[in-house]
Amino acid sequence: MFGPVRSYTEGSETQGRPKVEAAQLAAFSHFHCFLPPREETAAQALANLVERWLQRNRASPTVKYQTFNGQSVPVPSLSEQGLHSYAARARRGHGLSPSTESAIYQPPRWEAILAAHARISPRIHRTPILTSASLNAMTGAQLFFKCENLQKTGSFKIRGASNAILSMTEKEVAKGIVTHSSGNHGAAVACAAAWRRVPAWIVMPQNAPAVKVNAIEGYGGKVVFCEPSVTARKATCDRVQAETGAHLVHPYDDDRIIAGQATAAKEFLEDLGDLDAVFAPVSGGGLLSGTCLGAKGIRANVRVFGCEPERADDAYRSLTTGTLQSQDSSDTIADGLRASLAPRTFAILRRHVDRILLVSEEEIISAARLVWERMKIIIEPSSAVAIAPLLKPGVVASLNLPRRADGGAPKLGVIFSGGNVDLSSLLWN
């Protein structure tokens, strides 16, 4: 259980750091690395870890804070007094502080994903899975595309939003819903709020595509614009929430959202049980962490790859450094992928995702164009990010996927996450 902590404190990330700080990082990393199946196990592990640390280090270290998405989050308190009460509370298994909650975070269980699927299925589409002989020939793989671009509201986002909003009590929805979104989550929230007949306030960056603003307003959502940064989104959302009393449905740092997004991969693996790997775009990580849980819940050894624009590469940096990296803004053409991971999604991805693959802006554009031309379906740039890495020469081979028992080319599932594109600059103009 404690092996990885030791290796982390000796690892390159902590070289040259004071021992206390190395131990803090080790503890923090450890908590995110290990997500024991039962909360009691987690609490016990935490208590044990803290006590061992105390036995070894008699120095009085300082409490450290890290900034995640504009929020200051304490790294588990390592003042001796704090640690003792932390350990005691953890051992009793209740009354955990917010920092402890994130330290022993439990991702949604399989039952929560099943419940989400049962809850939302009557309202949403079971989206089709398409294939393309020409894309197979170009990549040397057997490709399957889960078409969430053909989903209600034009993206997978309705899965998480409807799961959250349909599971809320009358009291919770009474004053409406508030969220922040680059567009697709906003449309999904506005749509699901309309099903519950309650108002929805959607905080959007000023540079969101007009088609997404119009869609939200079409569902009856009230759009509130803000500066295009994660910090401004959060501050504006907080203000609207304070003014209206509306319930926040976060676009990804929310278990109800993650469980809902997991249903896309669940359907994918239910329909194609022998997929070797699944590819999904990543921004805040709700879709990708849900994809890990939904796909691996059905086929434990399926590989899951996240795909991300080079210009918004915080997930790649977070997973390679082992520390959650923030990214306040990005100008990538993939407008749905400008946010950054949150504690929940980071914790799930650290455990389950195989790798993050990066793509350039040119690669995103040419992948989108190829899909439009060959497959005759509209995908938005954020969706194209999931197929773009596979079109690069040698990438499929470099994934080191196990040889298939049937000797065939690898079967790869790609989630086309959305199809909401601003068509105003196309040929009819």
Ligand X SMILES: Cc1ncc(COP(=O)(O)O)c(C=O)c1O
Region binding ligand X by CB under 6 A among candidate stretches 186-194, 331-339, 360-368, 394-402: 331-339
**Cβ proximity to ligand X, 5 vs 161, nearer residue:** 161
**Cβ proximity to ligand X, 281 vs 413, nearer residue:** 281
Closest CA to 283 of 418, 395, 399: 418
Question: Does the footprint of ligand X cover residue 286 (CB under 6 A)?
Answer: yes
Question: Does the footprint of ligand X cover residue 228 (CB under 6 A)?
Answer: no
Spatial separation of the C-alpha atoms in residues 28 and 256, rounded to whole Å? 25
Question: Does the footprint of ligand X cover residue 359 (CB under 6 A)?
Answer: no
**Cβ proximity to ligand X, 241 vs 283, nearer residue:** 283
Spatial separation of the C-alpha atoms in residues 209 and 144, rounded to whole Å? 28
In the structure encoding, which two tokens stand for residue 220, read together?
């009856």
Amino acid at 16: G
Question: Does the footprint of ligand X cover residue 162 (CB under 6 A)?
Answer: no
Question: Does the footprint of ligand X cover residue 108 (CB under 6 A)?
Answer: no
CB atoms within 10 A of CB 38: 9
DSSP H helix total and E strand total for the chain: 19, 12
Question: Does the footprint of ligand X cover residue 281 (CB under 6 A)?
Answer: yes
Q: Candidates 9, 100, 153, 182: give the one binding ligand X (CB under 6 A).
A: 182
**Cβ proximity to ligand X, 176 vs 286, nearer residue:** 286
Sign of the dihedral defined by the CA atoms of residues 22, 27, 28, 33, in that order: positive
**Cβ proximity to ligand X, 236 vs 382, nearer residue:** 382
In the structure encoding, which two tokens stand for residue 348, read together?
């799930």
Region binding ligand X by CB under 6 A among candidate stretches 116-124, 213-221, 332-340, 397-405: 332-340
Q: Candidates 127, 241, 340, 383: give the one binding ligand X (CB under 6 A).
A: 383
- Whether residue 181 contacts residue 236, with contact meaning beta carbons closer than 8 Å, is answered with no
Q: Candidates 107, 108, 199, 285: give the one binding ligand X (CB under 6 A).
A: 285
Question: Does the footprint of ligand X cover residue 327 (CB under 6 A)?
Answer: no
**Cβ proximity to ligand X, 75 vs 386, nearer residue:** 386
Q: How far is the CB of 208 from ligand X (least distance, A)?
A: 10
Spatial separation of the C-alpha atoms in residues 264 and 267, rounded to whole Å? 5
Q: Candidates 213, 232, 339, 378: give the one binding ligand X (CB under 6 A).
A: 339
Amino acid at 64: K
Which three-class secondary structure state does DSSP give residue 202?
A: strand
- Whether residue 14 contacts residue 321, with contact meaning beta carbons closer than 8 Å, is answered with no
In the structure encoding, which two tokens stand for residue 149, read together?
């671009």
First to last CA, the chain: 62
Q: Which of residues 389-428 bind ligand X (CB under 6 A)?
A: 417-418
Q: Candidates 24, 29, 100, 184: give the one binding ligand X (CB under 6 A).
A: 184
Closest CA to 179 of 204, 160, 211: 204
How many residues make contact with ligand X (CB under 6 A)?
22
- Whether residue 142 contacts residue 406, with contact meaning beta carbons closer than 8 Å, is answered with no
Question: Does the footprint of ligand X cover residue 212 (CB under 6 A)?
Answer: no
Q: How far is the CB of 344 from ligand X (least distance, A)?
A: 11
Q: How far is the CB of 379 from ligand X (least distance, A)?
A: 8
- Whether residue 186 contacts residue 212, with contact meaning beta carbons closer than 8 Å, is answered with yes
Amino acid at 244: T
Spatial separation of the C-alpha atoms in residues 323 and 346, rounded to whole Å? 9
Strands in 274-319 per DSSP E: 277-281, 303-309
Q: How far is the CB of 151 from ligand X (least distance, A)?
A: 10
**Cβ proximity to ligand X, 117 vs 212, nearer residue:** 212
Question: Does the footprint of ligand X cover residue 61 (CB under 6 A)?
Answer: no
**Cβ proximity to ligand X, 212 vs 296, nearer residue:** 212
Question: Does the footprint of ligand X cover residue 378 (CB under 6 A)?
Answer: no
* Contacting positions for ligand X (CB under 6 A): 155, 182, 184-185, 251-252, 281-288, 336-337, 339, 380, 382-383, 417-418
